[in-house]
Amino acid sequence: MSDQPIIHLRGVFKTYEDGRLRALDDVDVDIEAGEFVAIVGPSGCGKSTLLNMIAALDRPDEGTIEVAGHDLTGRRDLDHFRREDVGLVFQLDNLLPTLTATENVEVAMFGRIGPRRRRRQRGLELLDLVGLADRAAERPPKLSGGERQRVAIARALANEAPIILADEPTGRLDSHTGAQVMDLLERLQREQGVTLVVVSHDPSVSSRADRILHMLDGRITTDVPVGDDDLATTPASTG
């Protein structure tokens, strides 16, 4: 792994409702390239807000955020970053119901990969990678929940982003299908070296990670290597 973390946050604060709701409270975190990090905690603790900050889908009130060599603090021209450096997978797959599985993957390539023939070829290759080569022509209403989520993962990989951010990717799936989705994400992290950051309330998901960040009331309370039970109650450094 590189000496320079691929994700670096220092002193990040975020409030909503005119400052009445503090979603992030002085958050510091470093994530190395190729790591699998799980973010866990109760509802409303700031997990999704933290993920949105890393994805540049929201802006901090204070603090520094550097991701994949980009200083996101105060920048507004972030379309290139979102298109090329992060792939997003959410609990709701957000697929377009009128497009085929292949076309849904192709959508992520517009403005980056052309002509259409190349987009189609890459879309088919990615669907094959996630085990859906035989479902490429189907539209989302004809796909199962697990199949739709795998299409969403293929879409997140479309531009070879070095970071995959997933917010409750198994939250709407049964345990067997959820395990298949996580098997796929783990394989991508292991074989392709992507950095994987997953928000989840499911212990069977977080137990697969290299590290677990526990959050409470907008703060990271512990930062624990998986399997290191002695650190499970050690508070994370506040910097």
**What does the pLDDT profile of the chain (239 residues) look like in tens digits?**
457 899 999 999 999 988 788 999 999 999 999 999 999 999 999 999 999 999 998 899 999 999 998 888 877 777 778 778 999 998 888 999 999 999 999 988 876 666 788 889 999 999 998 999 999 999 999 999 999 999 999 998 888 889 999 999 988 888 988 898 899 899 989 998 999 999 999 999 999 999 999 999 999 999 999 865 444 433 443 33
Please state the separation of Cα 126 from the chain's center in Å. Answer: 18
pLDDT value, residue 113? 62
Task: Give the chain's end-to-end CA distance (angstroms, integer).
Answer: 23
Give, in degrees to the nearest 5, the angle at Cα 72 between 202 and 69.
90
User: Count of CB atoms within 10 A of residue 22's CB?
Assistant: 17
Give all domains of the chain, ordered by start, each with its CATH number: 1-85+161-239 (3.40.50.300), 96-159 (no CATH)
Give me the helices (H) in the chain, please: 47-54, 79-84, 101-107, 116-129, 145-156, 175-192, 203-206
Residue 88 CA to residue 52 CA, distance in Å, equals 10
**Identity of the residue numbered 110:** F
Parallel/antiparallel/unpaired status of strands 7-16 and 21-31: antiparallel
Packed helices 175-192 and 145-156: angle between N→C axes, nearest 10 degrees: 20
pLDDT value, residue 1? 45
Q: Among 21, 22, 23, which Cα is nearest to 52's?
A: 23
Please state the separation of Cα 45 from the chain's center in Å. Answer: 17
167 forms beta bridges with: 90, 199
Contact 177, 210 (CB under 8 A): no
Instruction: Retrieve residue 56's tokens.
Output: 């540049």
pLDDT value, residue 214? 96
Radius of gyration of the chain (CA): 18
Whether omega for the bond prior to residue 115 falls within 30 degrees of 0, making it cis, is yes
pTM (2 d.p.): 0.86
Contact 42, 199 (CB under 8 A): no
Residue 196 CA to residue 188 CA, distance in Å, equals 9
